[in-house]
Amino acid sequence: MGWGRFFRRAKWDRERLEEIESYVEIETDENIARGMPVGEARAAARRKFGNSTRIREDIYRMNTIAYLDTLGRDVHYSLRTLRRAPGFTVIALLTIAIGIGANTAVFSVINSVLLRPLHYPRAAELVALRQVAPGAAGLASFSDGLRLSPSMYFTYSEQNRSFQSLGVWTTGTANVTGLAEPEQVRTVGISDGVLQALGVPPAAGRWLLRADQVPGGRETAMLSYGYWQRRFGGERSAIGRRILVDSRPREIVGVMPRGFQVVQAEADLIVPLGFERSKLPLAGFYLQGIARLRPGVTIARADADITRMLPIWMDSWSNGPGTNGRFFEAWRIAPAIRPLKQEVVGSVGNVLWVVMGTIGLVMLIACANVTNLLLVKAESRQQELAVRASLGAGWVRIVRVLLLESMLLGLMGGALGIGIAVGGLRLLVAIGPANLPRLGEISMDGRTLLFTVLLSLLSGLFFGLIPALKYAGPRISAVLRSAGRTQSVSRERHRARNLLVVAQVALALVLMVSAGLMIRTFQALQAVDPGFTGAAHLQTMRLSVPESLVASPEQVIRIQNSIVDKLAAIPGVTSAGFGSAMPMEGFDSGWNEIFAQDKIYPGGEFAPLRLFKYVSPGFFHTAGTRIVAGRDLTWTEVYGHRPVAMVSENLARELWGSPSAALGKRIREFPPMPWREVIGVIEDVHENGVHEKAPGIVYWPSMMDNIFGPSPLNVVRKMTFVVRSDRTGTEGFLNQVRQAVWSVNSSLPVASVRTMQEVYGQSLARTSFTLVMLGIAGAMALVLGVIGIYGVISYTVSQRRREIGIRLALGAPQGELRRMFVQYALVLAGIGVAIGLGAALGLTQLMKSLLFGISPMDPPTYAVVPVVLMAAAALAGYLPARRAASVDPTEALRAE
Amino acid sequence: MLVLQTLILGAAHGHTIAHAIERGSDDVLQIEHGSLYPALHRLENRGWIASFWGTSENNRKARYYRLTPAGREQLITQTARWDQVVRAIGRILKPASE
């Protein structure tokens, strides 16, 4: 049986018909020739031929695939039925389309972010070299464990047995001058081995190679595709050109292709790190490691390899004379290698799966609603179905017709849903957290479409099966006999619908509880004092004074000081200051062991690691960070490089019991450094976002004595400047800010211009994203649930009109009737709420990691949500109940 | 087989074939002529005959059938097999009649 014939079967039939006609004509001619009258001749010819219809059917059947043919006819029939009930069809289609659309959109995100491999060749071999150091006290406040030091990189890359290639990288910023306006660009510094591990060939020119890593050699750089397009118009001639990076010339040797990232870092420039191998100490843990595993090597084996190399590292390098590398044994450093994808995706998987789960639940509720609609529809079609059955349609055939109809609904809904998903996806990307990894890669692909089609078919099956099995059953003759209007409705016929409504309410409760928990989390987060005030009135920007531009540290401080003065002089500015980073900015802060003079450290040399930041006088005042005890730094102390420091309140309490007790105490970094006196205690600042504990912080003046480096003074050249003003964010204000900076030095780019509100909002982005998604899901669930209850009650009312009429005629008070139906709604909702509460208690445990400050069994949420739902249910029951009570008894009875 | 045999002399249309079979069998095989058409259709589907539209002797539009090479081959093998069967049956029947 060929498909060709199947599709040409109509044409065949026409041909056969013509052929039969031709036979009859010829035979008639002959009969006439034999002398028969015309009419008789034709009749005889037809007799001779036999039953032409049957013969045509025989031939037709030879050409067709019976199953497909009936399927086609059923599809046709179903479409006609759907068209005949446009109201039902539109509502059902919309419900399904929204459900499937939302699911498709969220699934595309999951697919793009979590399921698809990273954009590197053989990405499964790539790993992130992470390390933990449980023995290094204080390190726990750094979320990504112990990073690698340059000496570790050399040890690992030279001694390993597990990796094809291995490298380290770190992000930063640099000033590029000489092209247009001075510009601060994002950089990624890489060692040899990073590009080799990632394995992405350059779009033009060549990679940075080992020769580029030699310090003192030719200074080179690679461009990102975007920067190449932006600054060089994508010209090939850019290769070989020199640009001034931090006032030093670098030759452009290559361009990486569009979309290339070093792990999750989007950079404009890729520059070699250029370590001076002979001068490296053990310490300096600031690098992220990446490697490509050799084929067949597992992560466990690679971990073991690193463990083997750690003692080699401790013995091969030194932190200076008189120190012992084995000191790091106390840190208990251990490798924690993980797949690169996990590194890129991070913890966002949690959020996405929770969102997918909730949207899936919404889909279930939507399906339940459509099932309910179909049940009602099937009810009114019982007669039709019974007639079909009595005309000989088999039970299976009727089930098939009904299922086909629901599957068609599902598929058409799915098709519409894809349209909704495309729009939804755009919305999702727009409101999605900016720190959602792989945001740019989100798109729909074959897998998404497959998901949509499967979902459409499954949901079609789901909401079609119940009505199909219920109404295609063998009780058909009974229906025909008794389908009169006077038949009263049996309890049994309502059971399926009641069950569905109960399930809907239960699911809606779960979703609303989840959304409620997120709202409470958001409230809790906003209630946290972040350690600064009036974020909307704080303008921040990054300014960097490279050594090649201004060599003298004192000169740097003078420049920074005059910038602050100029900024403070702008009309409408109340104060200005600068620090090595604003809270939540995400810039790596420094940390080191901090010793207190009055404490005894067992082992003589080991103290907990502490975060530290550098600040200018007036920084805390500008940011609105309270000084709990003591006083702020003064410019005199900065210029005089006086040995002073400030500490955060929690650190003061930890070390000395109270903020005031900290004043006058002395602290320092590792031993040869001078002791510094604590002059102020600063309120706790949630440096890593309000959802993280405020770490203990030490604040140093931005210029200090330096006993190690080439210069006797140490100054911080990259600073975040902060300005408090009511005019933040306006273009005029930003212009004045830039002019103020450039009036001091016109080669300084003004970068990362943001208000603190944006920084703060971004740190809340994940929570607000989850909140919005769950909020939408919860609202949809509530609406669908209410519609479900409303539908059931109003259907019951319409079925029981007669009974209501009798009751009214017999003198039942209207209020009593209304109460009866509202009660019915409340009983249904009540059962649903009870089941839902149980389910919510279990399911919300899954979102524990997304919550803050509340438990998954937050009492207010669990108290409010059921009340809201019950109130909505009462309303949904009241509307049809009022209609019931207003039934005119004579009217209702006469209608029969 | 009978249809194929009638076509061995050249193309013919349904009406001719029906009458040819009827006459050829000395009117032993009296059939409804219509039932010929499904048979023709089946043969055509198997590729043993091919069809085209033509004009009949008395100027009527008619569908002509002709034997394809595959059909010719089929006719030879089937005729051979038929002869075999007939001979075998004949041999079985003859001794019994003696």
**What pLDDT, on a 0 to 100 scale, did the predictor assign at position A848?**
84
Do A362 and A102 touch, CB atoms closer than 8 A? yes
Closest-CA distance, B21 to chain A, in angstroms, reads 14
Q: Which residues does chain A have within 8 Å of residue B14's beta carbon, measured at their own beta carbons?
A: 19, 22-23
Quick check: B58 and A55 CB within 8 A?
no
SS3 of A19, please? helix
Residues A272, A150, single domain; the answer is yes
Residues A483, A395, single domain; the answer is yes
**Number of structural domains, chain A?**
4
Residue with the larger pLDDT of the pair A873 and A609: A873
Instruction: Spell out the residues 6+ positions from residue A629 whose beta carbon is closer than 8 angstroms to its own.
Output: A652, A659, A660, A662, A663, A680, A681
SS3 of A524, please? helix
Q: State the average pLDDT over residues B35-48.
A: 79
Q: Which residues does chain B have within 8 Å of residue A48's beta carbon, measured at their own beta carbons?
A: 32-33
SS3 of A582, please? coil
* pLDDT over 90 at A628, yes or no: yes
**What pLDDT, on a 0 to 100 scale, did the predictor assign at position B3?**
73
Domain residue ranges of chain B, discontinuous segments joined by +:
2-97
Quick check: A29 and B41 CB within 8 A?
no
Give me chain A's average pLDDT, please: 84
Quick check: A50 and B32 CB within 8 A?
yes
* pLDDT over 70 at A129, yes or no: yes
Residues A331, A378, single domain; the answer is no
Q: With respect to residue A597, please indicate whether it lies within any of the assigned structural domains.
A: yes
Do A758 and A536 touch, CB atoms closer than 8 A? no
Chain centre distance of CA A28? 80
Percent residues over pLDDT 90 in chain A: 27
Lowest-confidence pick of A94-108, A210-224, A583-597, A770-784: A583-597
Q: Rounded distance, CA A605 to CA A672, Å? A: 12
> What domain range is A213 assigned to?
131-336
Q: Tell me the residue ranges of DSSP E strands in chain B.
A: 12-13, 49-55, 61-67
Residues A490, A557, single domain; the answer is no
Phi first, then psi: give them for residue A383, nearest 5 degrees.
Answer: -60, -50
Quick check: A19 and B14 CB within 8 A?
yes
Residues A589, A505, single domain; the answer is no
Q: Rounded distance, CA A276 to CA A669, Å? A: 24
Q: With respect to residue A805, please indicate whether it lies within any of the assigned structural domains.
A: yes
Quick check: A52 and B33 CB within 8 A?
no
> Any chain A CB within 8 A of the CB of B60?
yes
Percent residues over pLDDT 70 in chain A: 93
* pLDDT over 80 at A518, yes or no: yes
Q: State the average pLDDT over residues A20-43.
A: 80
**What pLDDT, on a 0 to 100 scale, did the predictor assign at position A485?**
45
**What pLDDT, on a 0 to 100 scale, did the predictor assign at position A687?**
86
Tell me which chain B residue has its CA closest to the CA of residue A51: B34
Residues A790, A835, single domain; the answer is yes
**What pLDDT, on a 0 to 100 scale, did the predictor assign at position A486?**
43
**What pLDDT, on a 0 to 100 scale, did the predictor assign at position A474?**
54
Tell me which chain A residue has its CA closest to the CA of residue B64: A19
Tens digits of residue pLDDT in A261-307: 888 888 899 999 988 888 888 877 888 999 999 999 999 999 999 99
**Domain boundaries B2-97, CATH class:** mainly alpha
SS3 of A690, please? coil
Closest-CA distance, A49 to chain B, in angstroms, reads 4
Nearest CB among B35, B38, B60 relative to A26 is that of B60
Do A317 and A151 touch, CB atoms closer than 8 A? yes
pLDDT band at residue B33 under the 50/70/90 scheme: confident
Q: Rounded distance, CA A788 to CA A777, Å? A: 16
Q: Which residues does chain A have within 8 Å of residue B15's beta carbon, measured at their own beta carbons?
A: 22-23, 26-27
Copy the structure tokens of residue B97: 């009649």
Copy the structure tokens of residue B82: 């038929």
Closest-CA distance, B81 to chain A, in angstroms, reads 27
Phi first, then psi: give them for residue A697, nearest 5 degrees.
Answer: -130, 140
Residues A609, A639, single domain; the answer is yes
Closest-CA distance, B30 to chain A, in angstroms, reads 10
Q: With respect to residue A602, please indicate whether it lies within any of the assigned structural domains.
A: yes
Residues A781, A869, single domain; the answer is yes
Cα→Cα distances A44→A29, A38, A154, A590, Å = 11, 10, 105, 109
* pLDDT over 60 at A140, yes or no: no
Q: With respect to residue A755, please indicate whether it lies within any of the assigned structural domains.
A: no
Q: With respect to residue A156, please indicate whether it lies within any of the assigned structural domains.
A: yes
* pLDDT over 80 at A336, yes or no: yes
Q: State the average pLDDT over residues A852-863.
A: 89
Phi first, then psi: give them for residue A69, nearest 5 degrees.
Answer: -65, -45
Do A263 and A130 touch, CB atoms closer than 8 A? no
Quick check: A48 and B33 CB within 8 A?
yes
Closest-CA residue to A460 (of A537, A400, A522) = A400
* pLDDT over 70 at A143, yes or no: no
Supply the DSSP string of A68-121, one letter for each residue: HHHHHHHHHHHHHHHHH-HHHHHHHHHHHHHHHHHHHHHHHHHIIIIISPPSST
pLDDT band at residue A488 under the 50/70/90 scheme: very low
Which of these three, A301, A336, A371, is where a domain ends?
A: A336
Lowest-confidence pick of A120-124, A324-328, A485-489: A485-489
Residues A629, A494, single domain; the answer is no
Quick check: B63 and A22 CB within 8 A?
yes
Closest-CA distance, A393 to chain B, in angstroms, reads 28
> Any chain A CB within 8 A of the CB of B32?
yes
Tell me which chain A residue has its CA closest to the CA of residue B31: A48
pLDDT band at residue B29 under the 50/70/90 scheme: low
**What pLDDT, on a 0 to 100 scale, did the predictor assign at position A603?**
59
Residues A506, A559, single domain; the answer is no
Amino acid at A362: V
Q: Which residues does chain B have within 8 Å of residue A29's beta carbon, measured at their own beta carbons?
A: 58, 60
Residues A587, A646, single domain; the answer is yes
Angle between helices A814-843 and A801-809 (to 10 degrees): 140
Residue with the larger pLDDT of the pair A2 and A765: A765
Q: Which residues does chain B have within 8 Å of residue A26's beta carbon, measured at their own beta carbons?
A: 13, 15, 56, 58, 60, 62
Quick check: A22 and B37 CB within 8 A?
no
What is the DSSP-derived secondary structure letter of residue A272? E
Which of these three, A64, A83, A98, is where a domain ends?
A: A64
Residues A698, A774, single domain; the answer is no
